[in-house]
Structure 1
Amino acid sequence: MTRSYSTQAVEATEPVPQRHLRAVPAGTEPRGFVLYVGIDDAKAAAAGTDLGAIVEQLKKLTAQLVPTAETYAAVALAPAGAGGRDVDVVRLALQDPSALAKHRQAPEPEPEKRAGVVIDLSRKRLVLDEETAGVTYKEFELLQYLVLREGRTIERAELISALWSDSDDEDAPNERTIDVHVRRLRSKLGAYEDVVRTVRGVGYRFDRHADVSVRYASTPSPDFF
């Protein structure tokens, strides 16, 4: 007896991929959209246009597609030299929720390590973050006078007497002259300007700072007494 077997081919079907839909709260409906465009003035100029012209063209295109559509454009302002992709900077500047969330989750950058201040009394030199500062002789004398009297407030009259004692009567400075020299010295100290403290109504002083080191001369300074 002959038996026959029949086989039935079963065609495998590929599963239909499901689109990932963003969860939308119940009772809401779409009312528009936001298009973030990352481009600065330089890139627009290189393409022979500007940001204003691009915005106008996009608004015209929207009006052609949907004459009843309403449009509003906002320019994103960011600090000069901000790093990262232009579109990411724009999203962050315009307070895009997802961009803000990502920014909050990003690790805080480590603070930049600075070398600090070196007041080299032996070489009459001021070094800021390993770079020599261009202070004048009189500015360094002023700083040195305060450093050698650390923790004591020095009156302007004492500074005039000590640092300008050899001046002629016509060239003798006044208290305003001391303030000018201190202001110039502070401007050159930059981020370390608080090395020279002002005691209102009295004068100036130097206090110990963690980021300031003083290199003393091998022999006592002639103005240290």
Structure 2
Amino acid sequence: MSLALAPAARPTHPAVRSTHPAAYAPQPARPAAPVATAPAVHAGVATPAAAPSPAPAQAAPRVRAVPEGTEARGFVLYVGLDEAKATADGTTLHRLVEAIRNLTAEVAPSAETYAAVALAPEGAGGRDVDVVRLALQDPTALARQRESQGLSDDADRHPDGVIIDISRKRVLLDGEAAGLTYKEFELLQYLVLREGRTIDRHELIDGLWSGEDDVPNERTIDVHVRRLRSKLAHYQDIVRTVRGVGYRFDRHADVSIRQASTPSPDVF
């Protein structure tokens, strides 16, 4: 690396030149003025002086999204978009669902997804997302609707009998939750939405385990049905075995089925 040296400074006015010998005598050394330390230069790169390290920031307190004593198991995203608006945007509801599923699988491969389309009568007013929340029986939306209509929560109480709540994914037996697993409820819902028809085991496998890695056999289906019946307790005969064929849902007088005005399909 070449280093250019600047020439020494000359007098600014050539006419001013002292002839006194003292002008050329050696002058005593003067104490150097304090100079601020400049950054060191290494191969043309300036290295800044080391700054004092900042004090470590205190970690912010963790904010829980759920009340104490509970745990988050997932979330629901309500999307308000009718087919006409989706077409105007150059897409379809199915493509939008698949895009969200693919993004979820990319970000969180262990996440499980379930999509259901919200159906409403043609020409239903209001914002799309509000219609969707009501159609899928969102508890907050229902509470606001009851409050706006001056209704109480008495209609949500059913002390005796069975309530199969399709929209809220729950089963109440004499007012108490049956505690079904996700797959047990899906099995019951599949039979309920096909009331009056006997469903064979192959259809249950194709309808509830399609695309899964662990596909059960016919004997496993019988095990699932047996566990479902045990949780239905003394109402277990609403799921009836048709020997040699499959299973059927039998509605009794003490069975109440709740869902949106139009049932949401099982598969989008």
Which range, TM-score by smaller chain?
Answer: 0.3 to 0.5
TM-score by length of 2: 0.40
The higher radius of gyration belongs to 2
